[in-house]
DNA sequence: CCCTCGATCAC
DNA sequence: CCTCATATCGAGGG
């Protein structure tokens, strides 16, 4: 913890984690209320084949049949066979519109605000509530009501002494729920959680812990960071030991613009010639570059990512000497990296499933006179 | 200290 | 069956 804030102040915080319920599917219900009564599934279609892709979100009606986020569309369809249901593609611009309206309402409540994603944010309510959890609950109810009244959107709120617990708590009484965890309940609350409930613990970390014989949050709380460091790395070890004791010092931080811009696409099955791949890389570059232009920024690092048939990821990156805002530069470098990757790793074109381009080390160039082709100095 | 690359997470 | 975008960590090499 590098922030200079006293422990005393840290422990008196009241943090909200606000999570919009089944967000994409609920957005669809907002513009088409008739969807409320039937299972609806919002999907990311990869275009590789008819119905290839995954479920992004689904409403609770669909969940009754076992449909879940990240599930292949084909599997979801099989679960809803013979059921009157609807499958829709994502419409991100529309979801962002709804999201901004809701986020604006939340921000108007006052203090430090951190938007984590399109459907999730944190807000510090310490001052407004004077560290009183009863007050905080009233604010949570009022916030839910404002959002519901103004845009017909429901959300779930976790109220806790830190971000970690607020985040876990918001998921407990979903949808349209409020869960309050006080400072004095923090450790007990954590010990009732499963290890996988801790944000930052995924399948890999879970498995490592299991192989160490660690099965519960209480098991972790009896370990030292030192004991876990070798297996998990310093950061995760620290996170886990603190979390298991109900502690999380991380602060709400106002997020600036993103630090990278990227796009990954899935190749059609019949795409095998280098010429086809080249055109795809160029179209990805175009889209990434448009994004960069809109933000009036230049990039210095670009990374090309290949995802192979066996879902293995291979990435190569290149740092430029100077920042660039030239699409030609982006194209040229992407293609040269692609060539290098294919030859040096002896990757044949037909085992490439997905291709991505990411640019990073971004820098604002608004105010520069030539945006089209800008080089530092 | 910078660069590159892979891993992991979670949306 | 297997998307997509972003952030962060850590190792290893210079």
- Span CA (A16) to C1' (B5), Å: 37
Nearest nucleotide (C1') to the CA of residue A198? Answer: B9
Domain topology for A260-375: Dna Ligase; domain 1 (3.30.1490)
Contact yes or no for A113/A254 (Cβ under 8 A) = yes
Q: Is the CB of A334 under 7 A from strand C?
A: no
In whole angstroms, give the CA distance from residue A155 to residue A30. Answer: 14
CB A126 within 8 A of CB A110: no
Q: What pLDDT is stored for residue A371 in this prediction?
A: 46
Q: Residue A215 has what pLDDT?
A: 93
What pLDDT, in 10s, does the model give residues A310-349?
889 999 999 998 999 999 999 999 999 998 888 877 788 8
* Closest CA-bearing residue to C1' of C5: A262
Is the C-beta atom of A354 closer than 7 angstroms to strand C? Answer: yes
User: Is the peptide bond prior to A16 cis by the omega test (within 30 degrees of 0)?
Assistant: no
CATH annotation of A190-244: 1.10.150.20
Question: Is the confidence at residue A34, as pLDDT, over 70?
Answer: yes
**Which whole number is the average pLDDT over A79-83?**
93
Bridge partners of residue A232, in order along the sequence: none
Report residue A11's pLDDT band, with 50, 70 and 90 as the boundaries: confident
Tokens standing for A204?
């890999």
R_g of chain A, CA atoms, integer Å = 23
Is nucleic acid strand C under 7 Å from A235's C-beta? Answer: yes
pLDDT given for residue A241 in this prediction:
96
Q: Which two tokens stand for residue A162?
A: 């830190």
Q: How crowded is residue A183: how many other Cβ atoms within 10 Å of its Cβ?
A: 17
d(CA A112, CA A109): 10
Which CATH number describes the domain made up of A24-93? 3.40.1170.60
**Positive/negative CA dihedral, A109, A115, A120, A121:** negative
Q: What values do phi and psi take at A157, rounded to 5?
A: -125, 130
pLDDT of residue A376: 39
List the nucleotides on chain C closer than 7 A to a protein CB.
1-11
CATH of segment(s) A7-20+95-187: 3.30.70.270
What span, in angstroms and rounded, lies between the C-alpha atoms of A196 and A205? Answer: 9
The pLDDT score that the predictor gives to residue A257 is 87
Measured over the CA atoms of residue A157, residue A67, residue A59 and residue A100, the dihedral's sign is positive
Whether residue A46 is predicted with pLDDT greater than 60 in this model: the reply is yes
For residue range A271-288, list pLDDT tens digits in order.
778 888 899 999 999 999
**Higher pLDDT, residue A256 or A26:** A26
Name the more confident of A1 and A230. A230
Which tops the pLDDT comparison, A11 or A294?
Answer: A294
The model's pLDDT over A104-160, given as tens digits with 9 standing for 90+, comes to 999 998 778 999 999 999 999 999 999 999 999 999 999 999 999 999 999 999 999
Answer yes or no: are the C-beta atoms of A362 and A298 closer than 8 Å: yes
* pLDDT for position A91: 95
Per-domain boundaries in chain A? 7-20+95-187, 24-93, 190-244, 260-375
Distance A90 CA to C4 C1' (A): 12
Predicted pLDDT of residue A144? 97
Q: A254 pLDDT band (50/70/90 cuts)?
A: confident
**Cβ atoms of residues A319 and A361 within 8 Å:** yes
- Other residues' Cβ atoms within 10 Å of the Cβ of residue A30: 14
Quick check: is A120 catalytic?
Answer: yes
Q: What is the pTM of this model?
A: 0.93
List, in order, residues 6 or more apart from A266 with CB less than 8 Å away.
A46, A47, A48, A52, A353, A354
Q: Based on the number of CB atoms within 10 Å of its own CB, is A221 exposed (0-12), middle (13-18) or buried (19 or more)?
A: middle
Mapped onto helix, strand or coil, the DSSP state of residue A87 is strand
pLDDT of residue A9: 81
Give me the residues paired with residue A155 across strands: A20
| Average pLDDT taken over every residue of chain A | 91
Q: Which of A9, A120, A184, A376 is catalytic?
A: A120
pLDDT (average), residues A194-210: 93
Give a three-class secondary structure readout of A327-358. Answer: HHHHHHHHHHHHHHHHHHCCCCHHHEEEEEEE
Please give the share of chain A, as a percent, with pLDDT higher than 70: 96
Q: CB A163: neighbour CB atoms within 10 A?
A: 23
Q: Distance between CA A90 and CA A80 in Å, rounded? A: 19
């Amino acid at each position: 913890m590098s922030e200079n804030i006293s422990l005393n102040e840290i422990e008196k915080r009241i943090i909200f984690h606000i999570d919009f319920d089944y967000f994409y599917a609920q957005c669809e219900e907002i513009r088409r209320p008739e969807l409320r009564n039937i299972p609806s599934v919002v999907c990311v279609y990869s275009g590789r084949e008819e119905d290839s892709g995954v479920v992004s979100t689904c409403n609770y009606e669909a969940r009754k049949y076992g449909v879940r986020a990240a599930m292949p569309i084909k599997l979801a369809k099989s679960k809803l066979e013979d059921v009157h249901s609807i499958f829709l593609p994502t419409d991100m611009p529309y979801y962002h519109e709804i999201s901004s309206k809701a986020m604006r309402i939340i921000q108007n409540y006052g203090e430090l605000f951190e938007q984590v994603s399109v459907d999730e944010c944190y807000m510090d309510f310490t001052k407004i509530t004077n560290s009183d959890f009863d007050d905080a609950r009233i604010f949570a109810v009022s916030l839910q009501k404002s959002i519901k009244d103004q845009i017909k959107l429901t959300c779930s709120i976790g109220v806790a002494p830190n971000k970690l617990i607020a985040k876990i708590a918001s998921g407990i009484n979903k949808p349209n729920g409020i869960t309050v965890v006080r400072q004095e309940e923090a450790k007990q609350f954590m010990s009732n959680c499963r290890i996988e409930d801790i944000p930052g613990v995924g399948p890999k970390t879970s498995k490592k812990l299991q192989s160490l014989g660690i099965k519960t949050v209480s098991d972790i709380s009896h370990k030292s960071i030192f004991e876990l460091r070798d297996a998990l790395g310093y950061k995760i070890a620290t996170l886990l030991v603190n979390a298991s004791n109900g502690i999380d010092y991380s602060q709400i931080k106002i997020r600036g613009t993103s630090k990278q811009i990227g796009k990954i696409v899935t190749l059609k099955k019949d795409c095998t010639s280098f010429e086809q791949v080249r055109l795809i890389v160029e179209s990805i570059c175009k889209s990434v570059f448009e994004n960069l232009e809109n933000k009036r920024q230049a990039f210095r690092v670009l990374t090309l990512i290949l995802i192979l048939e066996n879902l293995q990821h291979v990435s190569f990156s290149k740092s430029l000497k100077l920042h660039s805002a030239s699409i030609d530069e982006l194209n040229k470098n992407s293609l040269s990296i692609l060539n290098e990757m294919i030859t040096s790793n002896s990757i044949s074109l037909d085992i490439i499933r997905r291709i991505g381009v990411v640019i990073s080390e971004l820098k604002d160039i608004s105010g520069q006179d030539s945006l089209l082709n800008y080089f530092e100095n």
